Amino acid sequence: MSKVHDEVLSANEGYAAEFGDKADLAMPPARRFAILTCMDARLDPAKFAGLAEGDAHVIRNAGGRASDDAIRSLVISHKLLGTKEWFVIHHTDCGMETFTNEIMGDLLSKSLDTAEIGPDGWKDVGQGPGSDMGAQIDWLTIADQAESVTEDVAVIRAHPLVPADVPIYGYIYDVKSGKLIEVPSATEIGKV
């Protein structure tokens, strides 16, 4: 086992020892809202949104994008667990801005090992083999944060399984200040 593995299990042991009344938390989120945001390790939705365990659903993926799976989770969040409001929150300095579908497809075609980024962009340093399957995926990369937030709110709003009475707000989290910055065009599309 790895050092990280051992650290995680050790931390869990301490957490479980202090678990207390968290066993009594209800399945539906207490504050009745959901956040779709990026998986970036610099983002802590519990802290930037003032959440305690049991308060809200937090759905995370690369870029915080409105993928089919993210929409599936939001629909379940509302239909079965009663969320009434949704936030789409992207962030500054996102890794999804550093490549395109073509770059990712090319990197994966050479090897499945971790690539490196340098002054000239991404470079594959793996041994191979790779796979051409990477070229068949829409990686939902980002060219402009405000545009991507607006696009994602529009995609969610237009989905036939998303009720018209759920407001969807669009924000960008600033990784340098910790502030949430509204994207008015996204919130306008998401209003009820």
Whole-angstrom distance, CA of residue 50 vs CA of residue 122? 36
Give domain status of residue 61, yes or no: yes
Give domain status of residue 126, yes or no: no
Q: Are 63 and 96 in contact (CB under 8 A)?
A: yes
User: Domain span at residue 167?
Assistant: 3-99+139-190
Q: What is the pLDDT of residue 67?
A: 98
- pLDDT tens digits, residue range 40-72? 999 999 999 999 999 999 999 999 999 999 999
Domain count, the chain: 1
Q: What is the pLDDT of residue 138?
A: 97
Give domain status of residue 23, yes or no: yes
Give domain status of residue 120, yes or no: no
Give domain status of residue 26, yes or no: yes
Residue carrying structure tokens 């050790």: 10
Tell me which DSSP letter residue 163 carries: -
Q: What is the pLDDT of residue 173?
A: 98
Buried b (16+ CB within 10 A) or exposed e, 161-183: ebeeebebbbbbbeeeeeeebeb
Give domain status of residue 115, yes or no: no
Sign of CA dihedral 50, 169, 94, 135: positive
Give domain status of residue 128, yes or no: no
Q: What is the pLDDT of residue 102?
A: 97
Whole-angstrom distance, CA of residue 77 vs CA of residue 55? 12
Give domain status of residue 16, yes or no: yes
Pairing of strands 116-118, 56-61: unpaired
Q: What is the pLDDT of residue 94?
A: 98
Using DSSP's 3-state secondary structure scheme, residue 4 falls into helix
Specify the CATH number for the domain of residue 53. 3.40.1050.10
Each residue's pLDDT expressed in tens, for the chain with a length of 192 residues: 899 999 999 999 999 999 999 999 999 999 999 999 999 999 999 999 999 999 999 999 999 999 999 999 999 999 999 999 999 999 999 999 999 999 999 999 999 999 999 999 999 999 989 999 999 999 999 999 999 999 999 999 999 999 999 999 999 999 999 999 999 999 999 999
Q: What is the pLDDT of residue 177?
A: 98
Burial status of residue 61 (CB atoms within 10 A of its CB: 0-12, 13-18, 19 or more): middle
